[in-house]
Amino acid sequence: MVAVNLGVLHYVLDHIYGAFVHRTKLTPPFFSRGWGGSNLDLLESIIKQFFQGVSGQKWPPPGLVQPVWRTVWETKTTCLREGTFKTPCDRQVIAALPPESHNARVAFLAPKFVPPHQMACVVHLAGTGDHTFERRLRLGAPLLKENIATMVLESPFYGQRRPRLQHGAKLLCVSDLLLLGKATIEEARGLLNWLENEAGYGKMGVCGLSMGGVHAAMVGSLYPTPIATLPFLSPHSAAVAFCEGILKHGTAWEALREDATQQAAMTLEQVQERMRSVLSLTDVTRFPIPKNPNAVIFVAATDDGYIPKHSALELQKAWPGSEVRWVTGGHVSSFLLHSDEFRKAIVDALNRLN
């Protein structure tokens, strides 16, 4: 009975948090400016290539990512650097991205005196609303004792890359969500390529929470060599979050219905069905199986108000050999309370690359 009540409490906490963040009028809802017009058409055609493992680029392209680094702080044993680089996306995608997102930022936390070939490094991708480096650096910092470095990518549309008219994490158009994903995938792949071929790291991985977990799964799917892949508290598709989960209450359905680029007479139900169709492009089960599915560990929450259980299980089913681990809690409480479980999954997945 106590366990059941705690599960309900975690689930209710997610809904209370979601109601405050997504049902209040403190900020505009997601997609208040509609579908995105020609940008949406462009992204739909580009992302479909991912399902066959095609990136639209020759791999690895020379000079894909070459960060320019500066030291933020250092101790006798550890150094934190920040780097900038031009997004490696093709011209069409760069033209669709806001100017603020053309240059990427990354933080890199690593030991000073351990040779890279004796280490691992994990690229941490941002969840919804994670505009800074700090949360992910805190998650990764204790892994230094395991000789695991942490690289944190600032997402397009977030932090210093956020468009001037965008409020917080509330993307203006549906096409922005796909642009964010496309650019994140290419930038993360570029950083992994840099770690492998320029820095000389022995093992690599990619992880992320929630939205970042979806992107981590996509990167792990598309990277040409085996890497550890760690989606945490993430759905198998953004359609789950925006059409089934709490985020549906923070979506501008009326603005989407009225968008002149769509049929003028669309009903709300038709708009929601159109959203499911568009966001099916983010369905990771349609992506290729990673090169080493045994090094894929999903961590899901038992009472997640944002992500239903079936979503994590669909990913595991699509990628035979992968593992799902369950933590007790909801989306918010698990994010706050289960960092040790996330770190253990990172260590275990990297060990499976041996």
Give the pLDDT confidence of 50-73 residue by residue, as tens digits: 877 655 555 666 558 999 999 999
Asked if 187 contacts 104 with a C-beta cutoff of 8 angstroms, the reply is yes
* Rounded mean pLDDT, 305-326: 92
| Chain segment 23-57, per-residue pLDDT in tens | 555 678 999 999 999 999 999 988 888 877 655 55
Closest listed residue to residue 81, CA positions, set 112, 113, 103: 112
Q: Are 305 and 15 in contact (CB under 8 A)?
A: yes
* Contact assessment for residue 155 and residue 133, using Cβ atoms and an 8 Å cutoff: no
What is the CATH class of 2-351? alpha beta
Q: What confidence tier does 20 reach under pLDDT thresholds 50, 70, 90?
A: very low
Q: Using pLDDT thresholds of 50, 70 and 90, give the confidence band for residue 261.
A: low
Task: Write out pLDDT tens, residues 113-124.
Answer: 999 999 999 999
What whole-number distance in Å separates Cα of residue 141 and Cα of residue 123? 13
Q: What percent of the chain has pLDDT over 70?
A: 88
Q: What is the mean pLDDT of residues 97-118?
A: 96
| Least confident range of 9-13, 70-74, 110-114, 288-292 | 9-13
Name the pLDDT band for 17 (thresholds 50, 70, 90). very low
Query: What span, in angstroms and rounded, lies between the C-alpha atoms of 118 and 113?
Result: 11
Say if residue 291's pLDDT is above 70.
Answer: yes
> What is the DSSP code (8-state) at residue 337?
H
Q: What is the mean pLDDT of the chain?
A: 89
Task: Judge whether residue 133 has pLDDT over 90.
Answer: yes
pLDDT at 19: 46
| Structure confidence at residue 308 (pLDDT) | 87
Q: Quickly count: other Cβ atoms within 10 Å of residue 274's Cβ.
A: 18
Residue 339's SS3 state is: helix
Q: Cβ distance 191 to 65 under 8 Å?
A: yes
Please check whether residue 179 is in contact with residue 96, taking contact to mean a CB–CB distance below 8 angstroms.
Answer: yes
